[in-house]
Amino acid sequence: MTSEDRRDFIRSLPLADIHRHFDGSIRPATLWELSEKYYSAVPGLDYEQFRHYLQWDESQDSTLLDYLDKFHVPLQYTQFYDNIRRISYELAEDAYLDGVRLLELRINPLIHRRAGLTTRQVLAATRKGLDTFSAQHPDFQAGMIVIAMRNHGGNMARILLREVIGEKDEYHDGVGVVGFDIAGHEAPFPPVLFAEAYELAGLMGLKKTAHAGESEGPERIWEALDNLGPDRIGHGTSAGDDPELIKRLALDGIYLEVCLSSNVQTGAVASLKDHPLPRFLEAGVKVALCTDNPTVSSTTLAREYELAMETFGFSEADVRDLARMSCRGTFLAEGCRAWGPQD
Residues, the chain: 343
Cα(93)–Cα(302) distance, integer angstroms: 15
Alpha helices in the chain (DSSP H): 3-11, 28-39, 47-52, 64-69, 81-97, 119-136, 153-164, 195-203, 218-228, 243-252, 260-265, 277-282, 294-297, 301-312, 316-328
- Cβ-contact 173, 334 below 8 angstroms: no
C-alpha pair distances (Å), 341 with each of 70, 96, 178, 207, 227: 39, 22, 20, 21, 33
- Active-site pick, 167, 186, 214, 304: 214
Q: Give the other-Cβ count within 10 Å of 218's Cβ.
A: 21
48 is catalytic: no
Query: Do 301 and 17 form a contact (C-beta atoms < 8 A)?
Result: yes
Closest CA to 280 of 251, 246, 257: 246
Question: Radius of gyration over alpha carbons of the chain, in Å?
Answer: 19
DSSP-assigned beta bridge partners for residue 179: 145, 207
How far apart CA 81 and CA 321 sit, in angstroms, is 39
> Which residue type sits at 249?
L
The CA distances from residue 8 to 35, 317, 320, 338, in Å, are 36, 14, 13, 18
| DSSP code string of 128-178 | HHHHHHHHH-TT-EEEEEEEEEGGGHHHHHHHHHHHHGGGBGGGSSS--EE
Q: Which residues are catalytic?
A: 214
